[in-house]
Amino acid sequence: MLIGAAMMPHGNPVLEPEDEETKRLAEVLGKIGRALSDADAYVLISPHNVRMSDHLGVVMAEHLVSWLGFEGKELPGEWRTEKELARKIYESAKSAGLPVVDMNFAALSGDYSRWPLSWGELIPLHFLEKKPLVLLTPARNVPREVLVRFGEVIGDVIEWSEKRVAFIASADHGHGHSEEGPYGKVKESEEYDRLVMEIISENRLEKLMEIPKELVRKALVDSYWQLLVLHGLLKRVPMGVRETSYACPTYFGMAGALWVR
């Protein structure tokens, strides 16, 4: 069954917060970790692992290993895949006609079945107790409705599972908040972040479908696609939003949110 869901950022500033907004965000992430600590497993969807244009991914490798930090920040560790749950998600999505692939490396199982983790997974996992997990990857060039449907399938699989499972959407928002950032400053980043936080605070994720595609593109985000999957999940298992927090200490927006039954 699904015990909770969260949106968690993957930016380095939450690891060593220096301003009050980011400190508040880090506190909320700690609360999320405690709220989800009795889960048997996590399902985590990240935009910074395998990048496929038009296919959704389910990682089936047995060992998930820290490999790539951001800007030199290393978070070592190793996690095991909850393979039975991963297989059920893959098979159910495939049966639903969704463009999903299962992914492994080197060996089908055992010590040599290994998969790298990036900052997109490692930073959210830093705030969570270590549990087996299922790693999913989104795709930006599939229709919105497909991403929502993927979330619905995931929700159904988790609800029928005997395990207590938490869902995590790894997501940072607009990347154009500062002239000093790599993408410069664009007004759409602030507009998108404000709109998304209103939608989340009001727990009306269906309104994500109304955000113009041009705004998503110009805002330079890496959150929208995971949030559509989260929307589908919460359509199947409605929950109330308990905690929200937002910070933008550098050039990109970060936010945390917790949903519970």
pLDDT in tens, 40-65: 999 999 999 999 999 999 999 999 99
Is 14 a residue whose pLDDT tops 90?
yes
Per-residue model confidence (pLDDT) at position 72: 87
Q: What is the share, in percent, of the chain residues with pLDDT greater than 90?
A: 99
Per-residue model confidence (pLDDT) at position 81: 98
229 with 147: CB under 8 angstroms?
yes
Assign 28 a pLDDT band (cuts: 50, 70, 90): very high
* Cα separation values, 39 from 1, 32, 134, 252, Å: 10, 12, 13, 30
Q: What is the mean pLDDT of residues 214-243?
A: 98
HSE of 1, CA atoms in CB hemisphere, 13 A: 6
Assign 221 a pLDDT band (cuts: 50, 70, 90): very high
* Cα separation values, 46 from 19, 124, 227, Å: 26, 10, 11
This model's pTM is above 0.95: yes
Tally of domains within the chain: 1
Amino acid found at 252: F
Is 36 a residue whose pLDDT tops 90?
yes
pLDDT in tens, 97-145: 999 999 999 999 999 999 999 999 999 999 999 999 999 999 999 999 9
Cβ partners under 8 Å of residue 81, min gap 6: 59, 60, 61, 62, 63, 64, 115, 132, 133, 134, 135
Please give the structure tokens belonging to residue 179.
Answer: 């002239």
CATH code assigned at 166: 3.40.830.10
Is 216 a residue whose pLDDT tops 90?
yes
82 with 151: CB under 8 angstroms?
no
Assign 170 a pLDDT band (cuts: 50, 70, 90): very high
Please give the structure tokens belonging to residue 175.
Answer: 């990347």
| Domain limits for position 65 | 2-260
> How many Å separate Cα 47 from the centre of its chain?
7
